[in-house]
Structure 1
Amino acid sequence: MYQGARFFWAVPDYVPATEIHSIADLARPDVMKTMNLSIQGIGAGAAITRLSEIAMDEYNLEELGYRFQPGSQGEWIAAHDAALAQRQRFIFPTWTPQYLNNGGRLRRSTILCTCWAVRIAVRWWRRTRG
């Protein structure tokens, strides 16, 4: 087990921080026009996948047209590599430590980090417990 592990959504470093720095920014029409609305996740049982599904629900992203798709590690890595190679604007569910975060090609959003994950998980837990 890693100490200090963090789960977050990242965007490529070529997406300006002034354009996307929170989940709420993803709902803006000007942002949606330029984003790849397909979000490739990793395995269905992964913590980042569950947290991503909760975020999709909490922020009504599916209703806006975003689609989250869990997949294999290979699909997740291939989606990352292809989107970067094509300079797409995309959301990448990830965590640290994770080798794909090395090299500075992804930028973690200030709200899309551990504090976000914990906040959403607590809300979900409260809803499911009545």
Structure 2
Amino acid sequence: MRLFNSVNDYGAVAQALHWLTVILVALAWALGIFGDLLPKGAARQAGLAVHIYTGLALLVLVAARLTWRSVDASPALEVTELGPDGKVARVCRRDRELCALRAACRGAGCRNRAQFARGDAL
């Protein structure tokens, strides 16, 4: 398997960074949601520590992904026949992380972007 992206496919590094991001997000989410179910004491403290360090690792991974993306060009966009939604799909394919964040924010009921910055509850 190639390290760099080709015209049609993502390379091994981009795919590895993607799946590592998926695993870390799932772990951080699971510990954030179900961490209170851990027994009080050392187990709960360890779960909180893993949750925090997973978040920090995600920040480093995002920096690595952005750096890799600036070094290695993305594959060509797929041509679709979906009309206006196809345009959105092409933009989302190019900027997946931004579209996923936007969709998650809408799905969580965020009314505006400043809600996260203020620290208001979802």
Task: Give the shorter-chain TM-score range.
Answer: under 0.3
Higher relative contact order (CA 8 A, sep 6+): 1
- What's the TM-score once normalised by structure 1's chain length? 0.24
Which of the pair is proportionally richer in helix? 2
Structure of larger gyration radius: 2
- What's the TM-score once normalised by structure 2's chain length? 0.25
